[in-house]
Amino acid sequence: MKHQSKRYQLFTRLFTIALLLFALTPMLAQGGATAISNAADDIKDYWDPIKLILKAVGGLVGFIGGLRVYNKWTNGDQDVNKEILGYGGAMIFLIVVPEFVTSFFA
């Protein structure tokens, strides 16, 4: 009997703590709109350096792609057009997308 009462007391204590935790959690939580607004403000702070890095990566991709296209062109390869489209598209994507994303946070 003693063993069952200790188990019952432990169960009731854990249940009471869980009930209090579930009751107090909504009071401490922020509203959804506030959280989204705070996240957007944080992204605005970091976006300019990220945009600069993306443009640098786009320029680097363009430079490497230009070297590869030139190398294939001088060697007489037939798939130079595919290479131009691949690297050109990647470079344009990396340079243009940050400008579109900036309009969302402006």
DSSP per residue over 54-75, as a string?
A: HHHHHHHHHHHHHHHHHHHHHH
Same domain as 45, residue 60: yes
Same domain as 78, residue 26: no
Same domain as 45, residue 95: yes
| Segment 8-57, tens digit of pLDDT | 888 888 889 888 888 777 766 666 777 778 888 888 888 888 888 888 88
If one counts the domains in the chain, the total is: 2
CA dist., res. 73 & res. 82, Å (int): 12
Same domain as 23, residue 46: no
Residue 3 has pLDDT above 80, yes or no: no
- How confident is the model at residue 29, as a pLDDT? 66
- How confident is the model at residue 31, as a pLDDT? 67
Same domain as 43, residue 26: no
* Domain residue limits at 87: 37-105
* Contact predicate 25/43, CB 8 Å: no
- How confident is the model at residue 11, as a pLDDT? 84
- How confident is the model at residue 2, as a pLDDT? 57
pTM over 0.85: no
Same domain as 87, residue 52: yes
Same domain as 62, residue 84: yes
- How confident is the model at residue 28, as a pLDDT? 67
Same domain as 46, residue 2: no
Same domain as 86, residue 56: yes
| Segment 52-93, tens digit of pLDDT | 888 888 788 888 888 888 898 898 888 888 888 888 888 788
